[in-house]
Amino acid sequence: MINSLAFRCLLKTEDEGNHGNDDTRCFILSTLASQGRSKVQCVLCEEYMLVFDRYPLVDGTFFLSPRQHAKFCIEVKVEGRMQFLTCVCMGCLEGVTGKAVSCRFCKTRWDGSSLVLGTMYSYDIFAAMPCCVERIKCNSCFKPVLHPAQRLNYFSDYSHMVPCPHCRTLDTHFVKPLGYCYVQRMVRPLSQWP
Ligand SMILES: [Zn+2]
Ligand SMILES: [Zn+2]
Ligand SMILES: [Zn+2]
């Protein structure tokens, strides 16, 4: 099914409106088509989501990360850089009961509710807002890459390779493994009353 969706992408559609960028839509649909997938999995709760051929593309949001957060994130090459197409479901973005995500170190709740649903961000949305000093530490020497009060200009700056001022290691230091940074309490749904 997804193959016909990707094909339809090649045709100019007349009723797109201004809900999103058509290049982004085609990029996602053709990437999924090349993998024979019509569903994606949430990187946090691993729930499956259907991908639609129109905006909103998914009940959640896509983003590109330089790190493969889960084995089901698809490797893509964007502007010469290897990235991974990653998806988070709406429940996890909004932190609905049982899906709230918080920083393992400072306990700050991660809040993705202000992100636009059904589209794609070109940077790692978890790296974009470092909540504490643990999130700005070098992946090699574990000293802070930035001054604790220093912040970068753009959300996307946190997904780029930067040299550590201490050990000079060049890495995407702000993009940490999700399991290292966050805890998510999954509450099992109550069993049916007998
Ligand atoms: Zn989720
Ligand atoms: Zn924190
Ligand atoms: Zn370092």
Tell me, what's the pLDDT at 21? Answer: 80
* 53 inside domain: yes
User: Torsions phi, psi of 8, nearest 5?
Assistant: -60, -30
- Listed residue (43, 101, 36, 37) closest to 67, CA to CA: 43
- Mean pLDDT of the region 128-153: 94
Tell me, what's the pLDDT at 14? Answer: 40
* 189 inside domain: no
Region label for 46, one of left (φ > 0), alpha (ψ between -120 and 50) or beta (otherwise): left
Amino acid present at 156: S
Ligand with smallest separation from the Cα of 183: 2
pLDDT digits (tens, 9 = 90+) for 144-175: 999 988 999 999 999 999 999 999 999 999 99
Is 70's pLDDT higher than 60? yes
H or E stretch at 182: strand 182-184
* 192 inside domain: no
User: How far, in Å, from the CA of 133 to the mean position of ligand 1?
Assistant: 26
Region label for 43, one of left (φ > 0), alpha (ψ between -120 and 50) or beta (otherwise): alpha
Is 106's pLDDT higher than 50? yes
User: How far, in Å, from the CA of 10 to the mean position of ligand 1?
Assistant: 30
- Mean pLDDT of the region 66-91: 96
Neighbours of ion ligand 2 (CB under 5 A): 103, 105-106, 108, 131-132
DSSP 47-115: -EEE--SSSS-SSEEEEEESS--STTSEEEEETTEEEEEEEEEHHHHHT-TTT-EEETTT-PEE--TTS
Instruction: With beta carbons less than 8 A apart as the criterion, state whether 126 and 181 touch.
Output: yes
User: Torsions phi, psi of 91, nearest 5?
Assistant: -60, -40
Q: Which domain holds residue 167?
A: 2-184
DSSP 137: B
Ligand with smallest separation from the Cα of 48: 1
The mean predicted confidence, pLDDT, of the chain is 89
* 123 inside domain: yes
Tell me, what's the pLDDT at 165? Answer: 97
Question: Which H, E and C letters describe 47-59, residue by residue?
Answer: CEEECCCCCCCCC
User: How far, in Å, from the CA of 171 to the mean position of ligand 3?
Assistant: 9
- Mean pLDDT of the region 20-42: 93
* Separation of alpha carbons 162 and 89, rounded Å: 29
The more confidently predicted of residues 184 and 194 is: 184
User: How far, in Å, from the CA of 90 to the mean position of ligand 1?
Assistant: 7
Tell me, what's the pLDDT at 12? Answer: 42
User: How far, in Å, from the CA of 184 to the mean position of ligand 1?
Assistant: 10
Q: How confident is the model at residue 185 (pLDDT cuts 50, 70, 90)?
A: confident
User: How far, in Å, from the CA of 131 to the mean position of ligand 2?
Assistant: 4
Is 19's pLDDT higher than 90? no
- Mean pLDDT of the region 31-44: 96
- Mean pLDDT of the region 117-123: 96
User: How far, in Å, from the CA of 69 to the mean position of ligand 1?
Assistant: 13
Is 194's pLDDT higher than 90? no
Count of domains observed in the chain: 1
User: How far, in Å, from the CA of 161 to the mean position of ligand 3?
Assistant: 13
Tell me, what's the pLDDT at 148? Answer: 84
User: How far, in Å, from the CA of 125 to the mean position of ligand 2?
Assistant: 14
